[in-house]
Amino acid sequence: MVRKILPALILLAVFADAQTHDPGFYPDTLRGEVWIEIEPIYGFRVDSEFPLTTEVAARRALQEAALYFSGMIYGWEFHYFVGERARGLTEDFSDFEPMGEITWGDPRLRPTDAEYRETHLRVWADYHMSEAQQKYIHMWRTGTVRNAQAMGFTPMEGPTPDSGWLDIRKAVIQDAARSAVREMLRGTERNRPREAKGYISLASFPRFFIDSGRWASSVRFRVQINEIIPFAAY
């Protein structure tokens, strides 16, 4: 029932007047804005649901918002192999696992406003957190957690030839996380380490755009590096 109701709420909001939203901090609520392309094309490949109906675009908006709220509350655990060309070691950030998930049918995820802008559906959404989820957010904003911002990229067709729209979003975020951790290590470690382990979360919703023929985004993170392994350890 919830999966049917939530898109219906957005369909009603599409025809309402646009509102001004405050993306600021609230103790029990996260909010963010999602832009969904109505005619998505990935390089030379069009989306399987091209062009999107309002119902499909609304569903995707909530799915995408769920991804970002998950990234803000729970984040990801990473194991980063820094790599070094001189030693023949390849950089690897593929070990990047979500620590929790919010689905788009979650009743705490609520659209608050939507409107069409040219070829996009713009949707504002709120997520009303439980007490346990509020504790996660508190942990991300205290202690030794550091703020970071980095650019992420992926090819226009996505990380694989059959990538979907959400796969592309995830790939750009993961590449931005890799870059953020790499730059953080460069700023704190005198010698290049071999590996680093820790946790990373989104600080806000990312916005995606095309740069030099690639999907790109400048993403804000919160980062907790728990272990740095030098080459001397091997």
- pLDDT tens, 57-102? 999 999 999 999 999 999 999 999 998 777 778 899 999 999 999 9
Residue 18 has pLDDT above 50, yes or no: no
Name the domain count of the chain: 1
What's the pLDDT at 24? Answer: 55
What's the pLDDT at 3? Answer: 47
Q: What is the pLDDT of residues 114-139, one digit of tens each?
A: 999 889 999 999 999 999 999 999 99
69: containing domain: 2-233
Q: What is the largest distance, in Å, between two alpha-carbon atoms of the chain?
A: 62
| Per-range mean pLDDT, top range of 4-13, 112-121, 173-182, 189-198 | 173-182
What's the pLDDT at 234? Answer: 54
Q: How confident is the model at residue 17 (pLDDT cuts 50, 70, 90)?
A: very low
What's the pLDDT at 16? Answer: 45
What's the pLDDT at 227? Answer: 95
Contact 177, 40 (CB under 8 A): no
More confident residue, 214 or 104: 214
What's the pLDDT at 124? Answer: 94
Lowest-confidence segment of 22-26, 30-34, 41-45, 137-141 by average pLDDT: 22-26
Mean pLDDT calculated for residue range 39-66? 92
